[in-house]
Amino acid sequence: MPDYTGSKMIQSLAPGEFLFRRGEHKREIYVVLQGKIELSKVTGGHREVQALVGPGEFIGQSSLLEGLSRQSDARAVEDSLVLVINEENLEQVIKMHPQLAAKIMRASRDKPPAQKETLRTGSGHPFLYQSEVKCPVCSTTFTVHKVFEHKLSVTGQDSDFRQRYRDFEPLLYSVWVCPACFYANQRTDFPNLSARQKKLLQDGKAERQKAFSGTMAAPGTPEFALQAHRLALFNSEQMAAEPDKIARLWLHLAWLYEDGEQKEAALDARARALEYFRQAYFNSSRTLSTKQEQQLAYLIGELHFRLGRYAEALDFFRRAVVVRGGSAALNEQARDRIALTRKLAKSTSQPAAGSSGAEETGR
């Protein structure tokens, strides 16, 4: 790279000094010549670090080439020098260093639309980045792995709604665990506690620590995911979570057991998921939308089916079909399962009709 020392195109930054702020509309690209620049944004009251950009890397090509606003804050973490490229000097830079211009254009072309400022993760993982979160129970700040969801490529969906992804399994990172108080929950629910739930979890800290006193496996491993889901279930029971949330944890645990070829444990987890999904369907304090009612009926039918309870499976698959205003695609899927269930019920001499929970009311 040419020597730009003394050039008006060079900007120096002291540690902690911001290069730009989220939402700004400066049409400039920055090439880091010296030091490190942190890209971050404030989410939910805490600052989330997206990337550290070092010498030879650049920031903000979307702002200059596409006119987009800044999607993150950029500040120096040490004494830094950056080359500032804008509309006025772009032609000069192209003449002085055409390879750099080509690199910028190539990166802009290849970068996913949702990834405006983050050029790489701190770990270099293609699907993950690290972020600090604050435990809502004990206020401890710790590091978690978050998933670049826009980078995931769905390859299919199982009949129990499990999505399959190319070259990555986000389920391994779906539960966060506070290392101090052992509060664990799905990442989407982690910060969302009522005052009552927070008090219950604070009072239950010693019980959690006693029950899960062993060393946790490394995050991102199947062993950690199993431990984290079991701990999340323990937390869910302590704070009296809604049955549908407990059910989904059990279902995810069943998927993890299946991945590890632990068939008996997977069946047991599915049975527990079924128990809580039925509670959510018949006794939930929340009103279900048409979509939720249809999906829940179908999923209960699918769990009955996988447990070999064909009469009950037929009952709930039919319930899914008759939901007024339901999804046509899910109707078709439920009808396919009805046909298969009847065939299997006939081959095993099970009755092809029946009622699941006739004594229950509400739906």
> What's the gap between Cα 361 and its chain centre?
35
What contacts 225, CB < 8 A, 6 or more positions away?
171, 172, 173, 174, 175, 256
Residue 247, CB-side half-sphere exposure with 13 Å CA sphere:
19
Is the domain of 102 the same as that of 138? no
The label of the residue with tokens 């869910």 reads: 236
Q: What is the pLDDT of residue 117?
A: 32
Is the domain of 138 the same as that of 232? yes
Q: Is 129 helix (H, G, I), strand (E, B) or coil?
A: strand
- Counting the structural domains of the chain, the total is 2
Q: Are 227 and 182 in contact (CB under 8 A)?
A: no
DSSP 268-321: HHHHHHHHHHHHHHHH-SSPPPHHHHHHHHHHHHHHHHHTT-HHHHHHHHHHHH
Tell whether 337 is covered by a domain: no
**Which pLDDT band, with edges at 50, 70 and 90, does 113 fall under?**
very low
pLDDT tens for each residue of 256-275: 999 999 999 999 999 999 99
Q: What is the pLDDT of residue 44?
A: 55
From first CA to last CA, the distance across the chain in angstroms is 70
Tell whether 65 is covered by a domain: yes
Pairing between strand 28-34 and 80-86? antiparallel
**Burial annotation 314-341 (CB, 10 A radius, 16+ → b, else e):** bbbbebbbebeebbeebbebbeebbeeb
Is the domain of 21 the same as that of 90? yes
* The pair of three-digit structure tokens given for residue 93, joined into one six-digit string: 């830079």
**Residue % of the chain over a pLDDT of 70:** 82
Number of H helices, E strands in the chain: 11, 14
* Domain span including residue 76: 10-110
pLDDT tens for each residue of 26-65: 778 888 999 989 888 776 556 777 788 888 888 876 665 5
pLDDT tens for each residue of 115-151: 333 333 344 678 899 899 999 999 999 999 999 988 8
Most confident of 127-131, 233-237, 358-362: 233-237
Is the domain of 102 the same as that of 22? yes
Q: What is the pLDDT of residue 101?
A: 62
What contacts 306, CB < 8 A, 6 or more positions away?
160, 270
To 10 degrees, what angle do helices 290-306 and 263-283 make? 150
Q: Which of 241, 268, 302 is the last residue in one of the domains?
A: 241
pTM confidence score:
0.65
Given a cut of 50, is residue 104 above it in pLDDT? Answer: yes
Q: What is the pLDDT of residue 110?
A: 42
Q: What is the pLDDT of residue 100?
A: 66
Tell whether 293 is covered by a domain: no
To 10 degrees, what angle do helices 328-347 and 310-322 make? 160
pLDDT tens for each residue of 183-219: 999 999 999 999 999 999 999 999 998 888 777 788 8
pLDDT tens for each residue of 324-341: 999 999 999 999 999 999
Is the domain of 227 the same as that of 138? yes
* The pair of three-digit structure tokens given for residue 264, joined into one six-digit string: 């008996």
For the ranges 119-133, 220-234, 276-290, which has the lowest average pLDDT?
119-133
What contacts 157, CB < 8 A, 6 or more positions away?
163, 164
CA dihedral angle for residue 275, residue 276, residue 280, residue 281, rounded to 10 degrees: -20
Q: What is the pLDDT of residue 2?
A: 52
Write the CATH number for 61. Answer: 2.60.120.10
Q: Which of 79, 110, 141 is the last residue in one of the domains?
A: 110
Q: What is the pLDDT of residue 116?
A: 32
